[in-house]
Homo-oligomer: A and B are copies of this chain.
Amino acid sequence: MGEKPRRLTRQQQAVSDILDARGDFRSAQEWHAALKDDGSPVGLATVYRTLQSLADAGRIDVLRTAAGESLYRACSAGHHHHLVCRECGRTVEISAGEVERWAVATATAYGFTAVDHTVEIVGCCAPCSVRTPEGAREDA
């Protein structure tokens, strides 16, 4: 929904660049901090604006944490989903024609049009599984 910028500024470059450099998912606030550390400080508001237009343009991926924070990451073009480690954030891009087809077919079967979907898989990656032996989860 954000307007796409008509001018290319140092700030937009900086945001775009750092996303390409590092490859992981981070919140807008974290990217803002990372940019300051990198010596290319960009205002928080601008980080949000730029991240949004990049997302609108399909240049980066967005995903929401359970806590409601948005995470942004540079990613390959085209439609795909993610497998994310809930401990360390490690991410794997996955595509699944199988699921794509299922989504459309199911929606269509119920008379829905303009179908869109969300598919995310979260788990504990191998390295983290070792660090968190089996049932050492902190719930009941």
Contacts and interface: CB of A to CB of B under 8 A. Distances in A.
Contacts of A117: 119-122
A89 to B, nearest CB: 13
Given A85-B112, A98-B98, A112-B124, 12 more contacts: A68-B68, A83-B106, A86-B114, A86-B116, A107-B121, A113-B126, A115-B122, A116-B121, A118-B118, A118-B119, A118-B120, A119-B119
Contact of A98 (B102, B126, B137): B102
Q: Which 3 A-B pairs have the closest CB atoms?
A: A112-B123, A111-B126, A115-B123
Interface of A: 1, 64, 68, 83, 85-86, 92, 94, 96, 98-99, 102-103, 106-107, 110-126, 129, 137, 139
B123 A114 contact: yes
Nearest to A68: B68
B110 A102 contact: no
Contacts of A94: 106
Contact of A112 (B83, B96, B139): B83
A121 B115 contact: yes
A120 to B, nearest CB: 4
